[in-house]
Chains A and B, each alone.
Chain A
Amino acid sequence: MLTTVEIIILLPLFGAIVSGVFGHWLKKSSGYVATACVGAAWLLGLKTLVDVMGGVGVDENVYTWVSAGSFTASVGFLVDPLSAIMLVTVTTVSFFVHVYSFGYMHHDAGFARFFAYLNLFVFSMLVLILANNYLLMFVGWEGVGVCSYLLIGFWYERKSASDAGKKAFIVNRIGDFGFLIGIFTMFGYLGTVQFSEVVAKAGGGALPASAATGIALLLFLGACGKSAQFPLYVWLPDAMEGPTPVSALIHAATMVTAGVYVVARSNVLYTLSPTAGAVVAWVGVFTALLAASIALVNTDIKRVLAYSTVSQLGYMFIGVGVGAYTAGIFHLFTHAFFKGLMFLAAGSVMHAMSNELDMRKYGGLLSKMKVTGYTFIIGTIAIAGIPPLSGFWSKDLILAGAYHSHVPGHAALWALGVVGAVMTSFYMFRLILMTFFGQPRDAHLYDHAHESPPSMTVPLLVLAVGAIFVGGVTGYPLEHGWINHFLDPVLGSPDHGSGGAGLSPSVLIGISVAAGLGGFVLALVMHRSGRLGADSRQPIHKVLWNKWYVDEAYDVSIVRPIHRLSMALWTIFDTIVVDGIANGLGYTVKGISWVSGRFQTGRTPTYAMWMLFGTIAMIYAVTLP
């Protein structure tokens, strides 16, 4: 008899097979099968969470994959608070994205294929988060990678889409390399890859600190690839070439958070190695700021959201890097709701605007798309960290954790985090103001705009409810909420290295709320000034003129330098350096391949000559030590 966990995992696989193999005949009904499978998995996931809350965990080996001498690899599942939270996050967002896709993909020729890939993705993701050992986790890890690759390039007729798929693929290879070597090294030192045994052995001192650092950093390299952290983040913005539901599900809510999950799951290693933890935190904060600064100037609605995702993932890594694992996972949890929501809302906007992505052509859409607009605003308030919406609770927990940790430069880490929060709030409200407020800038598109069908708006509403409440319900009171009580037993409570010295908690909260509001005000002021600038030529508006002067000062002293800096960062750093490296790597390898092919001249004497060289080298290598 199958256990609940097995059923949860097998349901999407079943859906994938049915819609993949029989999609040709099932046509649209394959979507129903796929959605029903994920829906059932969602309900069972909720039941599992309730079970875990009641203290019922699972750590079972279902099937011994291999056992040879000292080596055992099994297919086994672990359900503890951490994986239960992940399970609920993944299945919830997946289910609503499936529902949404009905409307979004309705006219697409690849309808069944889309649902097959989507279900296959959910299956792989569930394997990743429910595995009880690193090897099976790697199975899921590769599975989600392949699905992501297939889905980014879903519209393969578009060259940009297949290029983006390729780029994601190449960059992720680098991460996977680190991940694999990390697993090999771990197995070399500990003789096991099962989570419970790794915790027992590593915690018991079987792992020297240097090895722990090595393994932790190698795993983090894998995490950087999958979770789009510096310097491997470049693939994620390009991944927006995929259909929007895919961006929402894979490239915002679930797959990209796998890296955070891995670090949290390996918390014992990062606790053993403060160096690795510090690296994680600093890479996280650097990525958060870098991506946020790029988002300040971008005008492509999906790319702004993509950079925002990269930036928010940076926050999660700050959390798990400083030892506040609960905070990191909590942010992962809340982020899935509001970022999933915003991507779906963006998809709804695109749907209305004939797939136009440029925000400069939007404007004033709120009156035409009430549900989309208001839910988008809810998501924005949530991500800006304004209480009592979800983002506030988790972001604040991360910032507090960073402030109180022992990581070198923890106060700077916190301060940079706050700066990032201002930027986050600014670019998100900028997006909202440009899209939904002001005058329509493209009358033709505006006239054709319409609200999306219910299959698309209902998921928006549900996720909006999540974006409003999940944070407060689970996170209140801060640092002592339900989520802390639930996750701390597995992840350990963050150690307050500086012993609560420095600013008091309420001041910290005040500062981060101020950061969120500050970004909003800045965006609003600039928005207004854009209109007032035209009026200001009339001398009557003397006061307004002065106000404009203030805005201009703002503009010159803060906004423009930041604007220029982020423009510069975007062009120099992102498109030239990082893209250059990523694409360059692909071209270099292909180039070497081509050059090495030239040796293969087709002439037998050439081959014989190489054999002779080889022989001489061989004699030299063997006889002369």
Chain B
Amino acid sequence: MFEIDWNILLPSLVVAGLVLVVLCVDIIRPDNKGGVSGYLSLLGVGVAIWVSLSLWGRSPTHGLGGMLFLDNYALFFNLIILAGTGLTIFVSTGFLEREEGGRSEYYLLILAATLGMMLMAAGADLIVIFLGIELMSIALYILVGFFRRRTDSNEGSMKYLLLGAFATGFLLYGIALVYGSTGTTNLREIELAVAQGRVYTHPMLLGGVALLIVGFAFKVSAVPFHMWAPDVYQGAPTAITGFMSAGPKAAAFAAFFRVMVASLGDLSGDWSGAIWMLAALTMTVGNLGALSQRNIKRMLAYSSVAHAGYVLVALVAANERGIAGGVFYLLAYAFMNIGAFAVIVALGRKGDENLEISGYAGVGFRHPGIGLAMTLFMVSLAGLPPTAGFFGKFQIFSAAVEAGYIWLTVIGVLNSLVSVYFYLGVVVSMYMRQPVGQAHAVSMTPFARVALLTASLGTLYIGLAPTSLLQMARQTVSALL
């Protein structure tokens, strides 16, 4: 009588099982310093990627009482999220040993956050999306403050916690208002209710939509809800900063896009103006903020704000090319940004993280491989052709032109031109500044090398042969439109 299509749950189930296994390992061997857990996590992430890929291309379904979707959209985001998680684990192995002596719950928390993100991407009900967000966020609060003896790590964690919980309040209030006016929290039923006009009070629904936007805008760090991001990114352990900028951001966008386009698409006349403003502000404030930064983590934090703005442009356009472009961009962004953070981790040393951009002088000649990789990531983040970043922006902006948002495109292009300045600033520092002080040997663990190599190759591949991935991104769109 109660058929369960286990496939719908399978990817999340793999990760959930992994969380339990890692938890048990930690309990059995509390002093393993995360070594075993790290390998296990990698293995599990690999399995989850394989499962997600094998489910690709099926006709979209939903199940478990209408709580979860299984469609290409969710699966594509699973790939982004899992890729981000996998790369982060690779980066983390040496980093943890160097910095504070690894503790095994680190991997447990990363995996729990990953599970939350996957639920956000697949959620078919506001309850599931809410739970996914919280599962992810609570794990991240702890991860940000993981170096508990460091004041910056603490401070970032506390700010993130207080502001995150504050934003959760708005998000929940928004859910309550949407529930009150449509009588349901299920995404498909909300869509039907809006389409058929079965709405109790229209202004209340719109108020709910506005508060939902606030909640998601916080998670994707859109201006003016972005102010936590620079502080938290700077304070968090570097590997976690990279992690946060890829998966959690992608997952928040996954839920944001799905809710706005699939469920509330009929109201787009009401919300697209607001998102327009949000996108324009986010791009501008993000890039301007990054311009005067000297700390590379903080610069990349502002840069991540700016990139959220570019993806919001895709949401404003809300057409096929736009959404495909946005989804594609998030994938590209995961690779290039985690790659950049892998470089930052590699160039740090115990007791001296070497985070000033001026401290990168001469890296290009002292460590040619790392210099080359960093150049690739920076050029890609700047969106110069022929890299992944350029291609993603091209998709998004041409979609915006297609949808008639010329001015937003103009703002976007101006912004991405400004951004070239600070990204290339890093490259200039690496290749054209006289290094000060002694050259330090860079000791990268084999795992960190693999991470850097994978991120570089991924960025290159996405830039040079984007066709197949773009095709996949386009196949996700039917879930929304």
User: A residues within 8 Å of B by Cβ?
Assistant: 21, 24, 64-69, 71, 135, 138-139, 142, 146, 149-150, 153, 156-157, 162, 169-170, 173, 176-177, 180-181, 184-185, 187-188, 589-590, 592-594, 596-597, 599-600, 602, 604, 606-608, 610-611, 613-615, 617-619, 621-623, 625
Contacts and interface: CB of A to CB of B under 8 A. Distances in A.
A606 B224 CA distance: 11
B163 A618 contact: no
7 A-B pairs with the lowest CB-CB distances in the bound complex, closest first: A621-B274, A622-B210, A593-B291, A607-B227, A614-B224, A139-B385, A593-B292
Nearest to A117: B431
Contact of A615 (B206, B211, B292): B211
Interface of A is mostly: helix
A135 B385 contact: yes
A619 B474 contact: no
A67 B471 CA distance: 8
B274 A68 contact: no
A142 B416 CA distance: 13
Given A68-B470, A623-B210, A615 B270 contact: no
A614 B214 contact: yes
A330 B270 CA distance: 57
Contact of A592 (B162, B288, B395): B288
Contacts of B320: 69
A617 B280 CA distance: 15
Given A188-B398, A611-B225, 19 more contacts: A65-B464, A65-B465, A69-B320, A69-B321, A135-B385, A153-B428, A156-B434, A157-B434, A181-B409, A593-B289, A600-B230, A607-B159, A610-B227, A611-B167, A618-B210, A619-B210, A619-B211, A623-B203, A623-B210
B273 interface: yes
B289 A600 contact: yes
B401 A618 contact: no
Contacts of B467: 64-68
Contact of A622 (B213, B321, B420): B213
A116 to B, nearest CB: 10
B412 to A, nearest CB: 10
A589 B287 CA distance: 10
Contacts of A150: 431-432
**How many interface residues does chain B have, given as a range?**
35 or more
Contacts, number: 159
A455 to B, nearest CB: 26
A602 B409 contact: no
A607 B159 CA distance: 9
A625 B409 contact: no
B444 interface: no
A443 to B, nearest CB: 37
Contacts of B288: 589, 592-593, 596
Interface in B118-169: 158-159, 162-163, 166-167
A156 B321 contact: no
B214 A618 contact: yes
B30 interface: no
Given A600-B289, A621-B210, A184 B225 contact: no
A622 B271 contact: yes
A157 B424 CA distance: 18
A173 B401 contact: no
A614 B217 contact: yes
A173 B418 contact: yes
A176 B417 contact: yes
A625 B270 contact: yes
A584 to B, nearest CB: 15
B323 interface: no
16 contacts: A65-B466, A68-B321, A68-B324, A68-B471, A71-B321, A156-B433, A173-B420, A589-B288, A589-B291, A593-B288, A600-B230, A607-B163, A608-B166, A615-B210, A619-B210, A623-B206
A142 B227 CA distance: 33
Contacts of A69: 320-321, 474
Interface-central residue, A21, A24, A188, A594, by most chain B CB under 10 Å: A188
A173 B324 CA distance: 28
Among the interface residues A64, A142, A185, which one has the most CB atoms of the partner chain B within 10 A?
A142
A613 B402 contact: no
Contacts of B270: 622-623, 625
A600 B227 contact: yes
Interface string B249-262: 00000000000000
Contacts of A596: 285, 288-289
B385 A177 contact: no
A148 B290 CA distance: 24
A611 B171 CA distance: 12
